[in-house]
Structure 1
Amino acid sequence: MHLRSLLFHALLSPLVAFAADQPNLILINIDDLGYADIGPFGSTNATPNLDRMAKEGMKLTSHYAAPVCSPSRASMLTGCYPKRVLPIPHVLFPSSSVGLNPEEETIAEVLKAAGYKTACVGKWHVGDQPEFMPTAQGFDSYYGLPYSNDMGPADEGAKSNPGEDRKAATKRKLPANNTGIDETGIKGYAQPPLPLVENGNVIERVKAEEQHTITSRYTDKVCDIIRANKEGPFFIYMPHTAVHFPLYPGKEFMGKSPNGLLGDWAQEVDSSVGKILDLLRELKLDGQTLVVFTSDNGGALNHGSNNQPLRGSKGQTYEGGIRVCTLAWWPGHVPAGASTGEITAHMDWLPTFASLAGAKLPVRKLDGKDLTPLLQAKSGATGHDVFYYYRGFKMEAIRSGDLKLHLDKGDLYNLKSDIAESTNLAEDQPDEVKRLRALAEVMKDDLGLDGAEAPGVRPLGRVAHPEPLIHTDGTVRAGYNGVAKTLP
């Protein structure tokens, strides 16, 4: 071999060796899954694949998201508290003029710079205009719905469960703030048809029948991506449409669960996870792949979720609205049958994955923490000392250690002895109330305690003239034509 070749291989070999140490990363994010909607967290519903995942991996029992969809996903993608990167009052809707700012560096961009193939399969929900979509935010490919499956026409099944009268759905009274259009998008019954997007194309108008197939199609797509990239490293973000209302499990799963349609769909989610883990075993990638399973917020009790023993529901900052069932699986690296009650959160996945990949962190401020030592059960490994519970613009609660204070009511709970937040300790522990209020004030000059503006809040991305990806007449937005200009 010539000297030049020897020098080239000598320079290259450390990089090759390093790349071989980069694990594949799969982040599965279920929509509105309750804390106790799966077996490992107390459900009586049959979820054998998730049960096995928990036995072979780790349960994170104090893992936090956000109270609702869009902020939670923004936090997961950027490694920050939701308010820092997506300061909106609630969630985003179709044809929103705002979204996750393209200036933010997402988890996909961080990993792509480290040599990863990146893919997003599922519900996006941090902006549906081209500038905000996954392939503009670091993902090599995208397949899925740009927002929730209830954000479509009532007569096409988006406002009612299977078997319900769709005309009756149009008569339901909506809150005053859920009609018309503002910068966060089109609300209520004026919403345009649901688009299924593949990369830069709208490929389908999703009606009721198509909703039944969405979980299986996501699963098949993820399995195809794994096979195509088995040499690795790859990062797959799989934010499911399931189990958000309206509840559309695959037809073969309907009527199989004791927990109604939501339980049926949870069983299909379990089957989906099983297919992915089985494929990793078949390809002998299980020892090279970290798989995280979680939910974007607590379950919606009015749609059949179970958050026991937690208090509250989706949309709230009681534990049932924001603490989510979470599993981490990586045979040979994450110890089998492990569990941690340390405070962890969705904002931790970016720094954790970056650490595992040997990737550079964004230069902007992050709020997340590298969980690698915790996932590997290293002695002395800890989560967050303090966690701030934001709902929209407002900090509603704060946790330090086992103690949680609801700021407006002044209620104090010990989450170790009273996970259900049922016994108010404020009168008995006034010094702790004072200490926690002082910790909350620390954020006054960063993310603020209320209101949209604060020094640490970064600007939203904005577009001047948003429009639906599919108009009400079926016409596809220019540039998103895909296989047809009009979809029936």
Structure 2
Amino acid sequence: MILRSLLFSALLLAPWAVPAAEKPNLILINIDDLGYADIGPFGSSNATPNLDRMAAEGMKLTSHYAAPVCSPSRASLLTGCYPKRVLPIPHVLFPAAAVGLSPDETTIAEVLKEAGYKTACVGKWHVGDQPEFLPTAQGFDSYYGIPYSNDMGPPADGSKSNPGKPLPEPKGQAKKKAAPVNDETGLKGAAQPPLPLLENNNVIERVKAEEQFTVTQRYTDKVCDIIRQNKDGPFFIYMPHTAVHFPLYPAKNFMGKSPNGLIGDWAQEVDSCVGQVLDLLRELKLDKDTLVVFTSDNGGALNHGSNNKPLRGSKGQTFEGGIRVCTVVWAPGKIKPGTQTEEITSHMDWLPTFVSLAGGKLPERKIDGKDLSPVFMGAEGGKGHDVFYYYRGFKMEAVRSGPWKLHLDKGELYHLGRDIAEEQNIAAKHPEEVQRLRTLVEAMKDDLGLDGAEAPGVRPLGRVAKAEPLIHADGTVRAGFDGIAKKLP
């Protein structure tokens, strides 16, 4: 164990020289819709003692970027690419989508599995719910979770309203008939099928309101079991929580505990669950051999109670509050405690960073991320991105270089170092910066393009000939999905 710890230190200092038998364990905890200031390390008054300790023992990434919404963000994290390159869709995926992350893409799980890792995904997947797109087809040895957002189910099952609140009123055509609203990205609105809980490729449960209360702890129990079973390592666990996405279902023993309402209650449960994982690593003496990342898939949803201060904007936007996410990296004895970096980092960096630490091989296809391990270690020359492009769906809406950020449509220029809240448009005072940033935008035109789905660097989606719900409206599990005919209550 001591030898492994010393070798892990060497990996972070010289990530290109990794002994084949000694590789760090890797855990990536990805919260859903967590606001920049929804946890203590980033300014919340809500009690999150385990995350406070994690940040005190690790490093905060204060300029870390995801994507404005769920599916593109997760595709970026899994592939090391800008979302538009690998999942060119206008918004997010829905149940029974005929498209998803292409099996031709190389995921973070696939490269780590090739490097000798056991790989597991526990939680919300959301890059395709058909068997061809699920985690076990994309490099993960096992999967346990809900394959998309917890609001993508029938209203009567509690998927469209918070606990104790009335069911939402049908809108538009749904008042007349809950007809399926379906394009290749899946079923929408009142026509959405029951929420499935999967274990590997098997539907094991229909998730109704009562089950929603328990899912955060159940994910945590599953992750702890995987750690115990693979304590001799190396392992990679991707833990994309359902929390804290609307509808808000904190465990009942956490309800009413926070000054920030239901979302604060759920953030407290998330904190508790992170603490359980870190405590287990300490108990098994794996803490010195493990790198843990805590992050969010996009900014918080202000209409559901999140706090993104001091950032402007909300989930779904390319203002900083929609895309910059609270992120902590923890590796005791390897990362200098209580540190932070303002380097520009992103979800597309996790793949190359983990590959570097694991001594693996990068995908043969083009990726956009970079190895951040020198940044974590404070190594000389450790840098994030010089330029970051803000895509929302097919469209590039902004670009950042250093502290300068230009919103393209209105030509608004902000200096994020002096104006993190994007309140003072200084384009008129700095035309040279506006021109420099527009030149950077033009450089991307022949790669991912500036708008529309088609561009030279955009790769094809995965597609299936016929997409079906995993659970039909009558509770019947889709025929042939797990080879067992059954009907769920």
Residues 236-245 or 332-341, more deviating: 332-341
1:379 deviates by: 2.3
Q: In the TM superposition, what are the counterparts of 1:146-185 in structure 2 within 5 Å?
A: 146-166=147-167, 169-171=168-170, 180-185=181-186
1:340 deviates by: 0.1
Match of residue 279 from structure 1: 280
User: Is 1:202 matched up with 2:217?
Assistant: no
CA distance in 2: counterparts of 1:198 and 1:172, whole angstroms: 34
1:332 deviates by: 1.1
Q: Is the 8 A contact 1:32 1:244 kept in 2?
A: yes
Counterpart residue identity of residue 472, structure 1: A
SS of 2:481 mapped into structure 1: coil
1:482 deviates by: 7.7
Normalised by the size of structure 2, how large is the TM-score?
0.94
SS of 2:390 mapped into structure 1: strand
Q: Is the 8 A contact 1:287 1:331 kept in 2?
A: yes
SS of 1:356 mapped into structure 2: helix
Residues 178-187 or 129-138, more deviating: 178-187
1:172 deviates by: 5.1
Q: Is the 8 A contact 1:203 1:482 kept in 2?
A: no
1:478 deviates by: 2.0
1:252 deviates by: 0.5
1:270 deviates by: 0.1
Match of residue 480 from structure 1: 481
Residues 91-100 or 331-340, more deviating: 331-340
Unaligned stretches of 5+ residues in structure 2: 1-17
CA distance in 2: counterparts of 1:170 and 1:114, whole angstroms: 51
Match of residue 12 from structure 1: none
User: Is 1:380 matched up with 2:381?
Assistant: yes
Match of residue 337 from structure 1: 338
User: Is 1:404 matched up with 2:405?
Assistant: yes
Normalised by the size of structure 1, how large is the TM-score?
0.94
CA distance in 2: counterparts of 1:39 and 1:328, whole angstroms: 15
Aligned in 2, Cα 1:53/1:470: closer, same or farther, shift over 3 Å?
same
Counterpart residue identity of residue 317, structure 1: T
CA distance in 2: counterparts of 1:181 and 1:78, whole angstroms: 27
Structure 1, residues 383-411: CA drift from partner, whole Å, max 9, x if none? 00000000000000000000000000000
Unaligned stretches of 5+ residues in structure 1: 1-16
Q: In the TM superposition, what are the counterparts of 1:98-247 in structure 2 within 5 Å?
A: 98-166=99-167, 169-171=168-170, 180-247=181-248
1:174 deviates by: 9.2
CA distance in 2: counterparts of 1:76 and 1:268, whole angstroms: 24
Q: In the TM superposition, what are the counterparts of 1:352-391 in structure 2 within 5 Å?
A: 352-391=353-392
SS of 1:378 mapped into structure 2: coil
Match of residue 87 from structure 1: 88
1:165 deviates by: 1.1
Match of residue 66 from structure 1: 67
Aligned in 2, Cα 1:299/1:174: closer, same or farther, shift over 3 Å?
farther
1:81 deviates by: 0.2
CA distance in 2: counterparts of 1:66 and 1:25, whole angstroms: 22
SS of 2:487 mapped into structure 1: coil
Match of residue 13 from structure 2: none
CA distance in 1: counterparts of 2:223 and 2:99, whole angstroms: 29
SS of 1:427 mapped into structure 2: helix
Q: Is the 8 A contact 1:202 1:482 kept in 2?
A: no
CA distance in 2: counterparts of 1:290 and 1:19, whole angstroms: 17
Measured on the aligned residues, the alpha-carbon RMSD in Å equals 1.5
Counterpart residue identity of residue 236, structure 2: F
Q: Is the 8 A contact 2:174 2:190 kept in 1?
A: no
Counterpart residue identity of residue 51, structure 2: L
1:175 deviates by: 11
Q: Is the 8 A contact 1:57 1:337 kept in 2?
A: yes
Counterpart residue identity of residue 118, structure 2: K
SS of 1:257 mapped into structure 2: coil
SS of 2:315 mapped into structure 1: coil
Q: Is the 8 A contact 2:243 2:270 kept in 1?
A: yes
1:363 deviates by: 0.4
Q: Is the 8 A contact 1:170 1:189 kept in 2?
A: no
Counterpart residue identity of residue 41, structure 1: F
Match of residue 56 from structure 1: 57
Aligned in 2, Cα 1:338/1:484: closer, same or farther, shift over 3 Å?
farther
Q: In the TM superposition, what are the counterparts of 1:451-470 in structure 2 within 5 Å?
A: 451-470=452-471
Match of residue 48 from structure 2: 47
Paired residues, what number?
469
1:179 deviates by: 7.1
Aligned in 2, Cα 1:266/1:84: closer, same or farther, shift over 3 Å?
same
User: Is 1:393 matched up with 2:394?
Assistant: yes
User: Is 1:290 matched up with 2:288?
Assistant: no
Match of residue 8 from structure 2: none
Counterpart residue identity of residue 119, structure 1: A
Aligned in 2, Cα 1:70/1:354: closer, same or farther, shift over 3 Å?
same
Aligned in 2, Cα 1:262/1:454: closer, same or farther, shift over 3 Å?
same
CA distance in 2: counterparts of 1:309 and 1:329, whole angstroms: 24
Counterpart residue identity of residue 235, structure 1: F
SS of 1:18 mapped into structure 2: coil
Q: Is the 8 A contact 2:75 2:101 kept in 1?
A: yes
Aligned in 2, Cα 1:179/1:322: closer, same or farther, shift over 3 Å?
farther
CA distance in 1: counterparts of 2:97 and 2:341, whole angstroms: 39
Structure 1, residues 69-118: CA drift from partner, whole Å, max 9, x if none? 00000000000000000000000000000000000000000000000000
SS of 1:247 mapped into structure 2: coil
Q: Is the 8 A contact 2:131 2:481 kept in 1?
A: no
Q: Is the 8 A contact 1:301 1:314 kept in 2?
A: yes
Q: Is the 8 A contact 1:200 1:479 kept in 2?
A: no
CA distance in 2: counterparts of 1:203 and 1:297, whole angstroms: 29
1:334 deviates by: 1.2
Q: Is the 8 A contact 1:404 1:415 kept in 2?
A: yes
CA distance in 2: counterparts of 1:450 and 1:264, whole angstroms: 39
Match of residue 7 from structure 1: none
Q: Is the 8 A contact 1:290 1:330 kept in 2?
A: yes
Q: Is the 8 A contact 1:28 1:293 kept in 2?
A: yes
CA distance in 2: counterparts of 1:70 and 1:306, whole angstroms: 22
CA distance in 1: counterparts of 2:143 and 2:454, whole angstroms: 32
Match of residue 308 from structure 2: 307
CA distance in 1: counterparts of 2:419 and 2:348, whole angstroms: 25
Counterpart residue identity of residue 189, structure 1: A
SS of 1:46 mapped into structure 2: coil
